[in-house]
Structure 1
Amino acid sequence: MVSRPRSSRLRRSPLRGDGPPSGRSSGGRSPAGRARRGRGWRAVLAALVVASVAVPVSGAAGPGAVPAPEPAALAPLGAATPAALTGRYAAVRDGIRAAGRAAAAHGDRGRAAALRAMADPHRHFLSFDGRDGGRTAEVFGDLSRAGRIAVLVPGSDTSLDRYARFRSGATALQRELGAGSAVVAWLGYRTPDTVSPVVLTPDRAREAAPQLRAFVGQLGVLRPAARVALLCHSYGSVVCGQAAAGLRVADIVLYGSPGTGAESAAALRTPATVWAGRAAGDWVAHVPHTRLPLPFTTLGLGPDPLSPEFGARRFAAGTGGHSDYLTPHSPSLENLARIVLGRTPAKEPR
């Protein structure tokens, strides 16, 4: 954690932004001076604390510029029959193989090997774009027959080069759900790095929201009778928060969430049931919840979704860490599956 700066450092800091109260020295020790100074420093500390707690879980810098071909145009997902879905999977597989060849020619053996694994005929992708870190939507289970569908929206540091953990979580969830259900691992946006200024703002989530809305809309046309739940991890909960208004889903589940960019569950303007859960060992609990409007963006992601004021339904998420929610046999995975299936999850122990 970041320790509180000493008063002498506050007086010298160019970040303070508040002048001394009238008739007082630059120490600003009157109640009004301390309040103004505190407001400025709370915003600064928010950024510093997020960076300090994120360092242990962050990987290396963002993905390099590995060339990949432009993906081929696909028919709308909503018009796909079971046979058309099989054809779509094959067409996307061809695109993955083409991207793998481009990565190999570029000399990136790691990316090329990852794409060869993705092109396995037993894996099913609704979409793929290998450019700019990568975009994918991978299906686990039989989507053409599923009555319960979970759409996983990942958080920061998720890309083609860091896809294995995201995929393993989707696999674990589909196994927990069982037959008649499907999971879509939707990596449909350029995720921010965990240690970056971008992760402290809703900007990247606002860019992603139209793509998530469009995907969920097509999914609803493809499987109109299916119960659909959005499962939103970490910064992915900001994406879901920005996309939520008007989405035809049964549930929006926020877990390991630093905020949504909205002031409350009601402000999401969704008919879906909004759930929130956080594991006892999750470092995101230490992230300050604040919002500071700046000229070109907003610093901070708003209130804690677990706070009573936010108004989400809370569920028990166990004792794991920030990346452990979809660990097999964990309380968090069991409760996430219960929500997707339309059942009541276990509540947090008091």
Structure 2
Amino acid sequence: MRRFTRTLAAAALTATVVAGTAGWASGSSRQPVTGAPVGTAQWRADGLPDPERMTPAQTASYFASMSPRRQRELAAAHPTVVGNLDGAPLALRYAANARATGGRYAGQQVLAYDPRDRGQAVLVYGDLAKAAHVAVIVPGSDTDAGHLAPLIRKATALRAATGGRTAVIAWAGYTTPVGVGLDAATGDLAEAGARRLTRLTEGLAAVGAAEPSVFCHSYGSVVCGLAAPGIQVKDLVVLGSPGMRADNAAALGTSARVWAAKDPTDWIDRIPNVQVAGLGHGTDPTAPEFGARRVDAGDAEGHDGYFAPGTASLRTFAAIAEGVAR
């Protein structure tokens, strides 16, 4: 009976979205990529500390205890591990990932790369070590290591809107849903993503980077809602959100300022803000009763237009990132 109820709810949610998006095809169920980085077995066999047992702070201490030469040796011998260790020196991770990706992202700073399944990649724009302000963009469905163009556009637009003063992380660091289907209607992938997002923010703190503002788009806002109690961030900004799996901003359990944006033409507005039998993501964060600060998105267009140059939403996002928005 419970399975039947979930199936009916999923069908209703999917039908609503497909009708509102001119027939966008529904996606299939996926298993999240989790666990230790690729290459960890050999890393352990070489007598090195288990990555799954070290916190980012412990990882930072471990690398600080060795010489730069030894750090480079480890990065050369185990690039897929070092490149994905939150808390390891930033420059070392960039070098390790340049090696691991074989130049796939030539000229870009790759903070993390995981080739498993559809692939995950985390790119950095700006000097993360020195920037006074840091922003993280968490994307929604259909984002992976081979489909980064929309996320990169958002990241570069936000950085440009701050005059280059904010370092921006394009975080395709979790398994996203494909299309619209059961994965997009449930929180399973978001729960795995939330753990990874939490570790990212712990890693930023461990290397002394500025406390970030996090911008969460579409299904990414479900990730951010679930991660909210465990991440130390200045601001939590959701845009085009189907819900955050919380009844209101206070229920997120965060000390960060919570902001929400939704433009009038966004098809996400047609998704029922319900949570039944594990399906759906709850209250619309832009609803007055949710209690988030509203971001003007009246001149954004569609579900993907919030970071478009010249929009009021992008100007506000830049002000939030730089800590001057009120």
* TM-score, normalised relative to structure 1: 0.72
Match of 1:192 in 2: 177
What letter corresponds to residue 193 of structure 1 in structure 2?
V
Match of 1:283 in 2: 267
Is it true that 1:202 corresponds to 2:183 in the alignment? no
Match of 1:348 in 2: none
- 1:123/1:129 Cα in 2 relative to 1: closer, same or farther (>3 Å)? same
Q: Deviations over 1:114-133 (max 9, x none)?
A: x73x1x1x210111012111
From 69, 81, 88, give the equivalent of 1:73.
Answer: 81
Match of 2:113 in 1: 128
SS in 1 for 2:136: strand
Deviates more, 1:171-180 or 1:133-142: 171-180
Q: How does 1:80-91 map to 2 (within 5 A)?
A: 80=89, 85-91=90-96
Q: How does 1:176-187 map to 2 (within 5 A)?
A: 176-187=161-172
Is it true that 1:256 corresponds to 2:240 in the alignment? yes
The sequence identity of aligned pairs, in percent, is: 39
Is it true that 1:48 corresponds to 2:18 in the alignment? no
CA distance in 2, matches of 1:326, 1:174: 11
Match of 1:245 in 2: 229
Deviates more, 1:45-54 or 1:325-334: 45-54
What letter corresponds to residue 100 of structure 2 in structure 1?
G
Q: Deviations over 1:5-49 (max 9, x none)?
A: xxxxxxxxxx998xxxxxxxxxxxxxxxxxxxxxx9888633420
CA distance in 2, matches of 1:59, 1:162: 18
Match of 1:310 in 2: 290
CA distance in 2, matches of 1:198, 1:185: 22
Q: Deviations over 1:120-150 (max 9, x none)?
A: 1x21011101211111110001111111100
- 1:46/1:59 Cα in 2 relative to 1: closer, same or farther (>3 Å)? closer
> Shift in Å at residue 333 of structure 1?
1.2
Count the aligned residue pairs. 276
SS in 2 for 1:137: strand
Is residue 27–residue 182 contact of structure 2 (8 Å, CA) maintained in 1?
no
SS in 2 for 1:274: strand
Q: Deviations over 1:191-230 (max 9, x none)?
A: 0022221101111101111111011111122235x24101
- 1:246/1:207 Cα in 2 relative to 1: closer, same or farther (>3 Å)? closer
Match of 2:249 in 1: 265
The answer to which structure, 1 or 2, has the higher relative contact order (CA under 8 A, 6+ apart) is: 2
CA distance in 1, matches of 2:4, 2:211: 50
Extract unaligned runs of 5+ from structure 2. Answer: 31-37, 40-78
Is residue 28–residue 183 contact of structure 2 (8 Å, CA) maintained in 1?
no
- 1:284/1:91 Cα in 2 relative to 1: closer, same or farther (>3 Å)? same
From 125, 130, 137, give the equivalent of 1:140.
Answer: 125
CA RMSD between the two structures = 2.7
CA distance in 2, matches of 1:196, 1:325: 24
SS in 2 for 1:78: coil
Is residue 109–residue 125 contact of structure 2 (8 Å, CA) maintained in 1?
yes
CA distance in 2, matches of 1:130, 1:339: 33
> Shift in Å at residue 86 of structure 1?
2.5
What letter corresponds to residue 78 of structure 1 in structure 2?
G
Match of 1:228 in 2: 212
SS in 2 for 1:292: coil
Is residue 58–residue 194 contact of structure 1 (8 Å, CA) maintained in 2?
yes
Match of 1:292 in 2: 276
> Shift in Å at residue 182 of structure 1?
0.2
CA distance in 1, matches of 2:202, 2:91: 20
> Shift in Å at residue 309 of structure 1?
1.3
